[in-house]
Structure 1
């Protein structure tokens, strides 16, 4: 799939088929995480690959939407705050930015091989921390189901370029 097609066909999938994801496709998606740019290339993240059939109830506590656990996997990108680059001017730790870029690579790679995803930030962070058994320096940033979509895209109007662009 060409890049233009990937970015123009990707949508938030809110329904999945009961169909396994091929190991090659899962590995391709995970490989995309390894090449995501991060501050100073510190790569301060982990990706949790969660089997939904084995963890359905725990995942429902993290995010209760029924479709969230329909796909065979749910992925979670966790930032490692103590391993991230920190901007010296204001001490901004960019671990959450790095983790978001990683998830974006995952989602675009998944789209390119015919898999559906949906960015999930509206999850219960405490339940996520408990389920994933995270350390204090680890923060769950984003989740996504990963599987074959079984839902049509919703109408999501987009701003025109001139509505958000500022030229100086």
Structure 2
């Protein structure tokens, strides 16, 4: 698929049919995340794939936003393995994990797999639920699967402000 089609067609699916994501497609999505750039190539992302019905049910206790997805990817990062930027106010953890997640989200669309970026949960509660190490911070979860019959992008999906409202050229 052409990249412009990937970014134009991708939307947040909020009703999945529960069908599993094929192994080859899931591996292509995970590989796209692995190839994502990170500050100083630290690769601090930690990716957890959840397909077990028992763990998916536990996940439902922490967020109402699984939407019946058959596969959920939890994107976290190792807080002890980040690059601290000049000034000491920010580090690379959140942005690098975001780049990784975005690569996977776009790869899913390219593979014909629907997705939804989810932040509607308490990250600390999610980390406890999954027994993640204390040095890891959960950034988001990525629901993956196939849209339920008849489900489409919400009407506002294609409404975007013109570039002139969001972009300024400094001279």
TM range (shorter): over 0.9
Matched, 1:167 2:169: yes
Do the aligned residues in 1 keep the contact of 2:124 with 2:137 (CA within 8 Å)?
Answer: no
Q: Which residue of 2 aligns with 1:149?
A: 147
C-alpha distance in 2 between matches for 1:57 and 1:28: 26
SS in 2 for 1:82: coil
Gaps (5+ residues) in structure 1?
Answer: none
* TM-score (structure 1 length as normaliser): 0.93
Moved over 4 A (4+): none
Q: Which residue of 1 aligns with 2:58?
A: 58
Give the RMSD, CA atoms, in angstroms.
Answer: 1.3
Matched, 1:100 2:98: yes
| Cα-to-partner distance string for 1:25-50 (whole Å, 9 max, x where unaligned) | 01000000111011011100111001
C-alpha distance in 2 between matches for 1:40 and 1:54: 37
Q: Which residue of 2 aligns with 1:19?
A: 19
More helix by share: 1
Q: Which stretch shifts more, 50-59 or 119-128?
A: 50-59
Do the aligned residues in 1 keep the contact of 2:49 with 2:72 (CA within 8 Å)?
Answer: yes
C-alpha distance in 2 between matches for 1:38 and 1:126: 23
Matched, 1:47 2:70: no
Gaps (5+ residues) in structure 2?
Answer: none
Q: Which stretch shifts more, 122-131 or 103-112?
A: 122-131
C-alpha distance in 2 between matches for 1:69 and 1:76: 15
The one of 95, 100, 110 aligned to 1:112? 110
